[in-house]
Amino acid sequence: MGDYLFEILATTIKLFALMTPPAVLSAFLSGTKQYDEQLRRKTALKTSCAVFIIGIVLFFFGNTMFSVFGFTLDAFRIGSGALLFITAVSLMNDSPEKNKISSDEDISVVPLAIPLCMGPASIGTIIVLGSSSLGVVQNLIGAISLFIASSGIYAMLLCAKTIAKVLKNTGISILSKLTGLLISAIAAQVVFTGVAAFLK
């Protein structure tokens, strides 16, 4: 039981980091400046629900992409790993000003859920996780981890104003760079796994 809980925790942290929370936070703050509290909460809920639904669909049905397009899991690992590196680099060069968006329209699905939370890197990683998960237990661990990570995004957006007051622009920028470092480590592991499988 302890091993399963540890795996859920590790997968959740990985998925949450891939959802680039600093970028999502700064975009949410700039896009909801004119919103009242009720609309802000509704936007946060719609964003997290969209992230979870997209993630679940990719996790369970993304594997069909391999049979349709005819590429291997290891090739996809290397490709998604490369995208992870690009995401990590963009986060290292990120600033809150770069993520400012208009507040004149609904921002919950686009751009918050897609492409900020569910960009190419996170989509690729979720598909790889789903394809690598064998059996009911592994699938359940993946689904629970996605739910917790999506709930984490919801909680973060609900507390966005408080977080912004505490961290300020400098704190958000530092958090963005730390997230970039974590994602670069995940990318290196994903690419290494794919290359190692090719060399066997």
Which tens digit of pLDDT belongs to each residue from 142-161? 999 999 999 999 999 999 98
DSSP structure class, residue 32: T
Tell me the mean pLDDT in the region 98-119.
76
How many other C-beta atoms lie within 10 A of the C-beta of residue 148?
A: 17
- Residues 120 and 160: their CA atoms lie apart, in Å, by 25
Record the tokens describing residue 79, joined without a space: 């490709």
Q: 102: pLDDT confidence band, cut at 50, 70 and 90? A: low
Which pTM value belongs to this model?
0.80
Q: How far is CA 65 from CA 73, 84, 124, 127, 138, in A?
A: 10, 19, 11, 9, 20
Q: How far is CA 192 from the centre of its chain?
A: 21
Helix%, strand%, coil% for the chain, nearest 5: 85, 0, 15
- Residues 85 and 185: their CA atoms lie apart, in Å, by 9
Q: Which pairs from 65-69 meet CB under 8 Å and 24+ separation?
A: 65/127, 66/131
Backbone angles phi, psi at 118, to 5 degrees: -105, 75
Lowest-confidence region among 14-23, 27-36, 153-162? 27-36
Tell me the mean pLDDT in the region 77-104.
70
pLDDT exceeds 90 at position 186: no
pLDDT exceeds 80 at position 31: yes
Record the tokens describing residue 181, joined without a space: 């470092």
How many other C-beta atoms lie within 10 A of the C-beta of residue 113?
A: 25
Give me the pLDDT at residue 155, please: 97
Spatial CB neighbours of 1, under 8 Å, sequence gap ≥ 6: none
Q: Where are the domains of the chain?
A: 2-199
